Structures are given as structure tokens and as C-alpha cells.
Amino acid sequence: MQRHQTAPRAHHPKWSSLTVLGILSVAILALSGCTGTGETVVRTSSEPIEGGTLTYATGDVEPPCLDPIMSGNVPQALVATQYLEPLFYQSEDNEIEPWLAESWEWSEDRLALDITVRDDVTFTDGQQLNAETIQKNIEYIKDPETLSSTAILAVEKVETVEIVDEFTARLHLSEPDNAMLEHLAQVWVPIQSQKALARGMEENCLSPVGTGPFKVESWEKQREIVLVRNEDYHTPPPSAQHSGPAYRDRIVWRFLPDHANRFSALQSGEVDVIDVIQPQDAIVADADPALETLIGSRPGHVVNLAFNTTQAPFDDIRVREAFIRAVDVDAALKSIFLDTVDRSNSVLSSITAYNHQQPEVFATDVQRANELLDEAGWSERDAEGYRTKNGEQLSATVLQTDSVLVPVAVLEQFQASAKEVGFKLIIDQEESSTFNERRNTWAYDAIPLYYTKNSPAVLNLTHVTANIESIVEGGYHANSNGLEGTEAERIDELLHTAAVTGDEQERGDAYSAAQEAIHKQYVNLPIFDQQTRLGFRADVKGVRLISPLGMPTFYDTWLDRK
């Protein structure tokens, strides 16, 4: 048996900074700041000041539910990180450490995982954390009525949960899963009070009950969520800067989808922190001593264009490669993102273990694009200059919505590049709800997507043929390229080996080989790493991104103002 025992429960004072693509403002802070009304004041303290309200304005869509088990998307993870905690912590070096769990032990065949939880943790509703908590949480995730997508995929290999003793639960797996501890370190698989879960999904969506530094006080839909401090909090993650309750009394989590209005609210001091800060605004903030920015990569499947291989024109690999060779991703990123993001050349994020960058596969080559389209039979041109075959124009429709981080301006540059080789790209801008509906029903030729996950096992979700089908009829499907056939079967085999092997070297080799196989099929055009992009007032101290998902955490945050 492999035994993993925790170190003594001590406060970890070390600051753990998430891998950051760019910190656009790192100068020493000015000696004055702004209050919520824009009034300039003198800094008062170099020590944390307790109390007060932090106002956060998000540009992401409003969560459908405050419990990230239901559905499971980034807007939920952003807010739920403040009040829910998982069993494990995953460091920047991808090392698993205990959090609400105290220890863990694998069986020799790796089909059973014993997890012992801490015996000194109580949820904010008074329920004690114990082995039954794990059992009820897994059952809740796997209940079809919960409508889980991200969480249920994370624990799909867990068949049953056995209670070994009061504080130890045994997970029985259908096959080995070397990403299981990584799964259990995500906020999408949090540990919630079993008493609260028993209330049912509807009530749990409104007020999830966790162990985090804050708890949900109210949710005024389409306006704001109010979080209040958990006065009994004592389970900070290993990367925390202090112990005990959070410094802030409250967090007001506002929904401001308009980018210009959100940044104006930050500049005026109406809000303290914003996310999805736009590149041009980040540059303005960099020049303003009253503002700071923090931009960090998220792990998982990069922001990309996924091609629907189940229908023309992207059912032809030559057309897929031709499109990729035609567009100039580097030029688009430089123009639109103003050198604040780096190009990705892998389906895995640059901070995800075993990512395998292959710039040569995705390099722009207009001559090669033209050759491929000729070979594919798209050799004639119509009056508009677009290629035709048997009287049909070569065209493809790409969906767009703001929540998937690919601006229309980037797609318009792709559109212009594609036209140069005679490929017509049609951009359909949709609201999030319509975008999701069309994604779920395969009503697209190409679609910008990403999948945040702290493991290379994200590919076992996004690129296996089993996930071409929806979890529920007409619902979410993790595989959005639909590739089938011999090459898809080879990718399945490599990803299965990567998922079940107990040898870390073999795991890495298999994931590298799988990426090469995926890249050679040109089912995705990688664009850039997912990012958390924050702007905040310079007198807001202790803002950071927490590993492993790069979500903002405000446990250590305090306001250096009167």
C-alpha cells in the first residue's frame, strides 16, 4: 500500500505565486490611493487592516447556480473559490497536498482510494466534516437530477464510496485513475455539508454551504452576490499568508458585463477589483499609479478553435490543415491583445503538466494552404474570389460569444486571412445561452472553446470518442471535434494508457504522444492559454491567484485605506 501522511497542521507563511504570463504593473505602489468614492487618501498602514467591504465586478456571465457541482463553469469557479474548498491542494509544481483531507492511501491494485479527513472541521451550518460527507458529495455529483457536467466527468470512475470509519472513506474505482487526486483538488469537486446537500439542488444553488473563508449571505440575480466572513474559519490552503478568519467583513460580487463600464467603475473607485480586463485597459492601468493588474494562465485545454469533423467542410483533414495554415494567429494576437498574451502551440496550456508545444504544426504557410485546398478539389473560384467545388462555395461558420475569450476582432482577422486563400469564414455572434445551445447540438463548423482543468487528463475529456455523445440528450458534450475512425481510436488508446498507468514516465510519454496524434489531425487551432485577467485598486493588498486553477482568492486581501 502507498501511504501519504500529512505534515503537522501548521500555518504556511510562504507566498505562493501562480505562474504568471505577465504582471503588467509591478512598480512600488504610490503613497496615495482612492476610496470607493474616488477620494484620495494617505496610506495608513503596512500591516493588514481588518474589516470593510471588497467590491468585485465580473465580466463573466452570471452563474446559473452558486454550487459549481451543478453545471461546472468558470463563472461558478470564480465566486465559489471564496466559500467552498476541496479535499486536496495542488501546488504550482503539480504536487498534491492535503487540505480538508488529512491523508490518503491507495490500494496495491489502485482500484481503491482511502481518504481520511480532518476531524476538526465544521461547515458553516454546524455539520461536522466526516467520511459520510465524502460519500454524500459523490452521490450528489453522480445523481442525474443534479445536472452536473464538470464534476461528474471528474468522478466518473468512482463506482461506490464505502465508509471505513468516522473520518475515512474508501472510493472504489472502475479502473485506475492517476488523475483522481487532481480531480479532487478542483473547486468543481468541492466538499459541501451533507446536511445542506440534502435540501436539494434548488436551495443549494442559492446558498451552498462550505468550509471557506466566506459564506453566501444573499444573491440578487442579475445584480450581485453578497458574501460575509466566516468567523470560525481555520482551514487556509498551504499557500495562504495568514491563518484564522479573512481580513474582509464582506465581498460584494457584482455583474458588470460591459467592458468599458467595468473598467470605468474601477478607475472611479466604485469597485475594487475587476476581471476580464481588456488589453487596452490593462495598458492604461499600467500607466496609472492608482491601479494594478495581474494576469495569470489557467491550466487545461487552451483557448482554441475546435473544428466539427462530422460535417463538411471540416470533415476533410486537408481543409482543416489549410485553414490553420492560412490564418496568422501571431499577427492577430499582437494586434488585438497588444503583446499581453503568448501564442499557444499545443492543445494543453503552457502551465499544464506534459504540455507538448509544436509550433511547426500550426505555423502559417499560405502556399501550403493553397496546395491543400487544390488537392481537396476546391480549385475553382467564384466572382467573390472564394473557392468552389461542384458549384458549392467553400465556407464555414464560426460561433462567437464573449464568455469564451476570443474577441470578434481576432476572428475577423482570421476571416481576412482565410479569404486570401479563397475560404469564406462566417462569424455568428451569439448570446451565451444560444451559443451553448448550438454547441450542444453540433450546430457549428468551428467554435472557440476552452476547458479549465488542473491536469493533462483534460484531454481524456475533450478528445476521446466516448465524449462525443452528450452526458444527457441534447446536452453538453466534452468532445467538440467529433473525430472518429482509426486515428481517433489511436488517440483513445494513448489517452487511456496515460490515464491508468502507475508509472509517471509512461504517463508523460503517453500524453506527449497523444498531443502529437491530436495535432496531426488538425481538429483544433490552439490560440492562447486561458487567463485570469484582473485589474484592481493599488490600495487593495494581498490579491492573488490560487493554484491550481488560477482563480482569484480574497482570503488574504485587505484594504490599505481609511
Q: pLDDT, tens digit, for every residue of 156-182?
A: 999 999 999 999 999 999 999 999 999
Q: Other CB atoms closer than 10 Å to residue 268's CB: what's the count?
A: 12
Cα separation, 76 vs 73, whole angstroms? 5
User: Three-class SS of residue 347?
Assistant: coil
* Averaged pLDDT of the chain: 91
Handedness of CA 262, 555, 450, 366 (dihedral sign): positive
Read off the pLDDT of residues 380-421 as tens digits, 9 standing for 90 and up. Answer: 999 999 999 999 999 999 999 977 789 999 999 999 999 999
Report helix, strand or coil for 389. strand
Helices (H), 339-452: 366-375, 408-420, 432-440
Residue with cell 509550433: 359
- CATH architecture of the domain 12-62+221-297+531-562 equals 3-Layer(aba) Sandwich (3.40)
The amino acid present at 513, given as its one-letter code, is: A
The highest-level CATH class for domain 300-529 is: alpha beta
Q: What is the pLDDT of residue 334?
A: 94
pLDDT of residue 399: 97
Specify the pTM.
Answer: 0.89
The most confident of the ranges 35-44, 338-347, 416-425 is: 416-425
Closest CA to 59 of 276, 215, 205, 216: 276
Nearest to 555 by CA among 270, 204, 246: 246
Q: Within 13 Å and on the Cβ side, how many CA atoms surround 473?
A: 0
Q: What is the pLDDT of residues 310-334, one digit of tens each?
A: 999 999 999 999 999 999 999 999 9
Q: At what angle do helices 504-520 and 486-500 cross, to 10 degrees?
A: 160
Q: What is the mean pLDDT of residues 100-114?
A: 98
| CB neighbour list of residue 49: distance below 8 Å, 6 or more residues apart | 247, 558, 559, 560
Range(s) within the chain of domains with CATH label 3.40.190.10? 12-62+221-297+531-562
- 3 state DSSP class of 333: helix
Q: Rg of the chain over CA atoms, in angstroms? A: 24
Amino acid making up residue 245: P
Mean pLDDT, range 265-281, rounded to an integer? 96
Start-end of CATH 3.10.105.10 domains in the chain: 300-529
How far is it, in rounded angstroms, from Cα 11 to Cα 22?
29
Confidence (pLDDT) at 45: 59
Note the Cα 37 to chain centre separation in Å. Answer: 33
* Ramachandran assignment for 217, one of left (phi > 0), alpha (psi -120 to 50 degrees), beta (any other): alpha
